[in-house]
Amino acid sequence: MTADIGKMKQRLALMLAVSAVVFVAAGAGFYVYFGQGQNWGRWVAVVALGIGFVGQIGLVLSLRRDSRRA
């Protein structure tokens, strides 16, 4: 692991913020799709979940990259 705990905390806080926004967007998309019957809501939810997964993978890879440098 990297010795820079501050940098790790900053990345974690950013990831938590991104995850919160993505969670709300996906929930809204699912509500629009299932509750209102609008087909575009499904794509909003899928894209939001995809962005969330990519963000999580990016966090893990950035921490792994930093641990190789240490």
pTM listed for this prediction: 0.80
Q: What is the number of structural domains in the chain?
A: 1
Q: What is the pLDDT of residue 25?
A: 97
Q: What is the pLDDT of residue 68?
A: 76
Residue 2 has pLDDT above 60, yes or no: no
Residue range 10-42, pLDDT digits in tens? 988 999 999 999 999 999 999 999 999 999 999
Residue range 60-70, pLDDT digits in tens? 998 888 777 76
The CA–CA distances, whole Å, from 55 to 23, 43, 58 equal 12, 18, 5
Cβ atoms 31, 23 nearer than 8 A = no
Give the domain extent around 14: 5-69
